[in-house]
Structure 1
Amino acid sequence: MLKEITSLILKHTLVSRRHLTPELALRLITPDCPLWRAGEGDVPFKDPFWAFYWPGGQATARYILDNGESVKNLRILDIGCGCGAGSIAAAKMNAKQVLANDIDKYAVTATNINAELNKVNLETNTDNLIGDDCEHFDTILIGDMFYDEEFANVLFKWLDRISANGKTVLIGDPGRHGLTEKRRSRMTLLAQYKLPSDSAMENNGFTHSTVWKLN
């Protein structure tokens, strides 16, 4: 099964550096891929969110690459890792341990492919870790997960709890409606980035993305 998943990912994606973190080579579905214009019935993946480099993930990875001390010698958990960019950035910046977590087996396979492409070592996991106490990690990465108010409510309560227990929570987000003003008031803005034109076009018109730290 793993071999089949790997083969599908390699067949339907292209290596791209046309994003906010050109240091990272990532296999993605880009406008140059036939799947970009394919109808739903022609797509061999169900909800291939992992095949796109979302703006929150781009901002988180950019921040880590620019601020390596934020992860150096720390244990990093990347929740909803998608293509694995945040995890790969942390591994490049000498994190002590990196666990890329996503409930989608295609995502963790893509992450392993991308990690090998970038010559870094990390671990992957498909358990649902939302709600976990994360006792074995220092920093939690969250990218593009405030897309739905109901889920955002569950997510924020959990993040608030683990932050209160001493974990650092970094949130990458381009301004999705789930990251409300009330929630942002509980955070510190660490960085804002202008997305490259290709990324803005591929991400429904978002032109900027931000990184927040939960207080």
Structure 2
Amino acid sequence: MQPVPPAFLRAHTRVARPTLVPEVQLHVADDVVGLWEAMETEGGGAGLDPPFWAAAWPGGQALARYVLDHPGTVAGRRVLDLGAGSGLVAVAALLAGARAVVASDVDPYSHTAVALNAELNGVSGIEVVGDVLADELPDVEVVLAGDVCYDREMTGRVLPFLGAAWLGGASVFLGDPGRAYVPSEGLVEQAVYDVVDADGGPARRTTVWRLP
């Protein structure tokens, strides 16, 4: 797929601040279904993934809040934002003093969203890449993964990757809004947040976990 023009995202999103991380601004969608339809009609035809990048998910908000409140987690380090989506966690890591960030996502729309949101927040130093799960871990010291265990198949790919990153010496943090596939053992609780839905839905109890 060809690179997604920034003008498309600007035309179909608005700028908002996530409820838990008001320090950060993001391009988000008011009408996700309408955006998805526009992606299909204007952005390359049918078969495109839903626009997960157009929302600030609870797992990402919790991770972003955590690194902003605990900048020593990332300050001066190279960071991987796994499943970057909007780039919220990548932006928060840079605001907290990360030396550089690799933002990984399979969706080319996410790549454009990350670049736009970095520009919107006045940060630089994000390298946007595709799927890294089948490759060697990028040269990073911290891995931040927001809500990446959303189904069995994805969890089966993510957990070995996170484990290998930890064994390789990286600090690994996982933002989880209570997904059933997140293991109950082998993780250390770092913080718990109630993430309020921007549309007024119920808050999601979301935990930041660390591999020990």
Same-fold status (TM-score > 0.5): yes
| Corresponding pairs, count | 203
Residue 159 of structure 1, CA deviation:
1.2
Aligned to 2:14: 14
Aligned to 1:5: 5
Higher share of residues assigned helix: 1
Contact 2:35/2:51 (<8 A) preserved: no
- The share of aligned pairs that are identical, in percent, is 33
Task: Identify the match of residue 44 of structure 1 among 27, 39, 42.
Answer: 39
| TM-score of the two chains, using structure 1 as the length reference | 0.87
Mapping of residues 175-214 of structure 1, within 5 Å: 175-179=178-182, 183-198=183-198, 201=201, 205=202, 207-214=204-211
Contact 1:91/1:97 (<8 A) preserved: yes
Cα distance in 1 for residues equivalent to 2:153 and 2:18: 33
Cα distance in 2 for residues equivalent to 1:75 and 1:110: 21
Cα distance in 2 for residues equivalent to 1:74 and 1:49: 27
Instruction: Determine helix, strand or coil for the equivalent of 1:44.
Output: helix
Contact 2:99/2:125 (<8 A) preserved: no
Cα distance in 2 for residues equivalent to 1:63 and 1:199: 23
Structure 1 gaps of 5+ residues are none
Contact 1:68/1:93 (<8 A) preserved: yes
1:105-147 superposed Cα distances (whole Å, 9 cap, x missing partner) = 1101101100000000022333321143325110011111101
Residue 213 of structure 1, CA deviation:
0.4
Gap change, CA 1:48 and 1:191, over 3 Å in 2: same
Structure 1 runs of 4+ off > 3 angstroms?
36-40
1:10-53 superposed Cα distances (whole Å, 9 cap, x missing partner) = 011110014210000111013xxxx346396x342531110011
Aligned to 1:70: 73
Structure 2 gaps of 5+ residues are 41-47
